Amino acid sequence: GMGGVGKTVPAQMVFNSPQVRRRFFPRLWVCMSQTVKGGRDVRREMLERMLMALGVEEEAITSISEAGAGSGGLAELMLALHLQLMNKRYLIVFDDVWNIDE
């Protein structure tokens, strides 16, 4: 929907509700406006932030990212995220997304 019409507050209320807390673990709220732009790949930054939110050490994320230097580390970061979420009932909310290409 259009920006500024009030989607975030009700989404946060649902995200933080006791029913959702009991049903989904982990829960991740990814605010895309806080993702670094200019010079860094937004997708890579988003994946790194998600892994950090899941408790993966920053050194491990850097190592994973550097292992796939040719691809920019995206495939390796996506695999790491997949492994973190595998067999879990999780909820991921992407907030403040303005451009589908991001």
Element holding 83 (H helix, E strand): helix 74-85
Query: For residue 90, what are its two tokens?
Result: 């999780």
Average per-residue pLDDT for the chain: 88
For residue 18, is the peptide bond before it cis, meaning its omega torsion is within 30 degrees of 0? no
Rg (CA), the chain: 15
User: How large is the average pLDDT for residues 62-75?
Assistant: 82
**How many other C-beta atoms are found inside a 10 Å radius of the C-beta of residue 18?**
7
For the chain, give every domain's residue range: 8-95
Bin 86: left if φ > 0, else alpha if -120 < ψ < 50, else beta: beta
User: How large is the average pLDDT for residues 55-82?
Assistant: 89
Question: Taking 50 as the threshold, does the pLDDT of residue 15 lie above it?
Answer: yes
**Which is it for the CA torsion 65, 66, 71, 76, positive or negative?**
negative
Give CA–CA dist 68/17, Å, rounded. 38
Question: Taking 50 as the threshold, does the pLDDT of residue 102 lie above it?
Answer: no
In tens, the pLDDT along 73-86 reads 899 999 999 999 99
Q: Spell out the residues 6+ positions from residue 80 whose beta carbon is closer than 8 angstroms to its own.
A: 47, 51, 56, 61, 64
Confidence of residue 3 (pLDDT cuts 50, 70, 90): confident
Question: Taking 90 as the threshold, does the pLDDT of residue 100 lie above it?
Answer: no
Query: For residue 18, what are its two tokens?
Result: 């006791």
